[in-house]
């Protein structure tokens, strides 16, 4: 199979996830709860971002045995994270036939200059981005799906909103440029002319774009969808809350009917305690600043 | 020459839009001249509908949302009453009477047994081109796709395809024909009365022939 075919198939899988919610899970039991609640995929990891944040120290790829346990527990796609630039971790995840690799700033970066050459892999990659330049650089490296970075493990939506708005503004700006101005824009963004040209012509990224980082409530999910996200990752927000199954199902429905405020009002009732959360100003470690 | 239908016959096609790749179907149907609307909740069914599209996505998610949003019974009734349906991938799983290895089913209006993730995980996904009865050669994109293990007597098999991917699971029940070294082909497209079900994704390629066929059957 040609590499181009493989890349298309990997972008296609992200298309199938659209309108869905991808949930962080740490055990097969949580994975089953997530699947039953309507998760379109699960992200298998040893510790959810909120716990990584409070534990501190170096955070790495999860134990493959733990990931396999989750693969066996559910029928939906299973994703897992590797450290930025850690292509050996990515090779391991490919070897256990993971459905999507998240080269993630949530883990401690393994390389402070180079990201993984994702074109070398057959399995697909999703990467975080806080602006259009980062998104296109990851796509250039072979990512077949993008998500906002947000600020993981905080339950604070402000950064995801900032990243999504910024990306949309930059896409709108490129769309309005004259054709002869695109070459310089490519130079400024440190990406190829072809990618900038695609954004100019289609007014969107060439891959699916999800929201991630700080989504904790059905209203957060609806906000991100109305800002143009094609689906939502929920990390700590579900299993750090009072009633994970109910909250998860409510967020799933809110993503489907994200403009129906009446329905979302009903979905938001009696969800129990939301994750406690930390405000942007109280954070000691800005994960979104990892990997540019 | 235009592929569009004449104006006076504008078909009303509802696309299930609770999760998955529904926009891709909408773009193709619109390009063929149909009036397309999204079905996200019960009130979306309060209008005339000539045909229904069940898109790809995750069947577990779609099945749950159909029930949570009160769409399940009304749509099932319409399908049983003869509403034409085009179902792709997850949609085909929603239609199947039996899902291999699972007890749960969804609409269960199509006499067939479908196996989910039949080619394995994403590494088993593949692209090929193959004949579909009544239509001809079409591009076929399989994403963590199901196939039909068996179909009822009245079900017409429209296409059989062998995987082109070395990573794909091979059918454990299949016997390889050693004499001419051909791989076993799986049933990937079927038609039963008002229902067309495909395990691949015609909405992911530029080829519109399957959607054209669907619209022609309705009109």
CB contact at 8 A, B138 and B132: yes
Token pair in block for residue B176: 């390889």
Catalytic-residue membership of B97:
no
Token pair in block for residue B213: 């066929």
Nearest chain B alpha carbon to A17: B20
> Does position A148 have pLDDT exceeding 50, yes or no?
yes
Q: What percent of chain A is modeled with pLDDT above 90?
A: 81
| Cβ separation B144–A35 shorter than 8 A | no
| Cβ separation A10–B122 shorter than 8 A | yes
Contacts of A128 (CB under 8 A, 6+ apart): A104, A105, A134, A138, A146, A147, A148, A149, A150, A212, A213, A288, A291
CB contact at 8 A, B5 and B34: yes
Task: Give residues 61 to 120 of A whose Cβ lies within 8 Å of B.
Answer: 71, 75-78, 94, 97-100
10 Å CB burial of residue A7 (0-12, 13-18, 19+) is middle
Query: Shortest Cα distance from B193 to chain A (angstroms)?
Result: 27
Q: Give the count of beta carbons closer than 10 Å to the beta carbon of residue A188.
A: 9
Dist CA A64 CA B91 (whole Å): 32
Instruction: Tell me the average pLDDT of chain A.
Output: 94
Helix (H, G, I), strand (E, B) or coil at B31: helix
R_g of chain B computed on alpha carbons: 17
Query: Shortest Cα distance from A266 to chain B (angstroms)?
Result: 12
> Does position A228 have pLDDT exceeding 70, yes or no?
yes
B152 backbone dihedrals φ, ψ, rounded to 5°: -65, 165
Contacts of A7 (CB under 8 A, 6+ apart): A119, A142, A144
| Cβ separation B40–A257 shorter than 8 A | yes
CB contact at 8 A, B168 and B119: yes
Quote the pLDDT of residue A218.
96
| Cβ separation B127–A39 shorter than 8 A | no
Dist CA A255 CA A212 (whole Å): 13
Nearest chain A alpha carbon to B120: A97
Distance of CA A177 to the CA centre of its chain: 29
ipTM above 0.90, yes or no: yes
What is the torsion angle, in degrees rounded to the nearest 10, for the CA atoms of residue A69, residue A288, residue A233 and residue B116? -50
Q: What confidence tens digit (pLDDT) does each residue in A43-68 have?
A: 999 888 888 888 888 899 999 999 99
Q: Within 13 Å, how many C-alpha atoms sit on residue A24's CB side?
A: 29
Quote the pLDDT of residue B8.
64
**Angle between the A218-226 and A158-176 helix axes, to the nearest 10 degrees?**
10
| Cβ separation A256–B18 shorter than 8 A | yes
Catalytic-residue membership of B203:
yes
Q: What percent of chain B is modeled with pLDDT above 70?
A: 90
Which range among A168-177, B151-160, B172-181 shows the weakest confidence by mean pLDDT?
Answer: B172-181
Q: What confidence tens digit (pLDDT) does each residue in B20-30 have?
A: 999 999 999 99
Contacts of A184 (CB under 8 A, 6+ apart): none
pTM attached to this predicted model: 0.93
Q: What confidence tens digit (pLDDT) does each residue in B161-219 have?
A: 988 888 887 655 444 444 444 568 999 999 999 999 999 999 999 899 999 999 999 98
- Of the candidates B21, B89, B126, which has its C-beta nearest A18's C-beta? B21
DSSP letter, residue A36: H
């Amino acid at each position: 199979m040609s590499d181009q075919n493989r890349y298309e198939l990997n972008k296609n899988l992200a298309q199938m996830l659209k309108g869905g919610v991808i949930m962080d899970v740490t055990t097969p039991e949580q994975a089953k709860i997530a699947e039953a609640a309507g998760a379109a995929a699960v992200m298998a990891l040893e510790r959810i971002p909120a716990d990584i944040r409070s534990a501190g120290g170096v955070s790495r790829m999860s134990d493959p045995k733990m990931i396999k346990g989750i693969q066996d527990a559910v029928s939906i796609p299973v994703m897992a994270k590797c450290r930025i630039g850690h292509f050996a971790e990515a090779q391991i995840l490919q070897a256990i036939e993971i459905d999507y690799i998240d080269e993630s700033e949530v883990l401690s970066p393994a390389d402070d200059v180079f990201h993984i050459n994702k074109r070398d892999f057959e399995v697909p990659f999703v990467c975080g981005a806080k602006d259009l330049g980062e998104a296109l650089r990851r796509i250039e490296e072979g990512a077949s799906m993008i998500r906002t970075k947000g600020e993981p493990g905080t339950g604070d939506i402000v950064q995801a909103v900032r990243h999504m708005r910024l990306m949309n503004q930059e896409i709108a700006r490129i769309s309005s440029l004259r054709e002869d101005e695109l070459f310089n824009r490519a130079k400024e963004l440190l990406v190829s002319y072809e990618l900038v040209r695609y954004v100019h012509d289609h007014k969107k990224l060439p891959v699916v774009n999800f929201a991630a980082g700080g989504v904790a409530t059905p209203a957060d999910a609806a906000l991100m969808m109305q800002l143009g996200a094609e689906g939502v990752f929920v990390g700590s927000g579900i299993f750090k809350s009072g009633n994970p199954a109910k909250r998860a199902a409510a967020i799933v429905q809110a993503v489907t009917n994200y403009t129906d405020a009446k329905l979302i009002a009903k979905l938001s009732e009696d969800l129990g305690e939301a994750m406690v959360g930390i405000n942007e100003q109280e954070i000691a470690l800005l994960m979104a600043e990892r990997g540019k | 020459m235009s592929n569009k239908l004449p104006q006076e016959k504008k078909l009303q096609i509802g696309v299930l839009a609770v999760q998955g790749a529904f926009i891709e179907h909408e773009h193709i149907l619109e390009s063929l001249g149909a009036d397309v609307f999204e079905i996200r909740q019960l009130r979306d069914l309060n209008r005339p509908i000539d045909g229904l599209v069940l898109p790809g996505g995750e069947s577990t998610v779609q099945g749950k949302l159909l029930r949570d949003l009160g769409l399940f019974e009304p749509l099932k009734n319409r399908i049983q009453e003869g509403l034409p349906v085009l179902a792709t991938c997850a949609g085909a799983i929603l239609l199947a009477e039996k899902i291999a290895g699972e007890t749960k089913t969804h609409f269960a209006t199509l006499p067939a047994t479908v196996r989910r993730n039949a080619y394995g995980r994403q590494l088993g996904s593949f692209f090929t081109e193959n004949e579909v009865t009544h239509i001809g050669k079409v591009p076929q994109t399989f994403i963590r796709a199901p196939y039909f293990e068996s179909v009822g007597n009245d079900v017409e098999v429209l296409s059989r395809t062998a995987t082109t991917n070395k990573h794909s699971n091979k059918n454990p029940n299949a016997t390889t024909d050693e004499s001419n070294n051909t791989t076993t082909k799986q049933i990937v497209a079927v038609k039963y009365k008002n229902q067309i079900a495909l395990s691949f994704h015609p909405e992911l390629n530029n080829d519109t022939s399957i959607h054209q066929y669907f619209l022609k059957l309705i009109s």
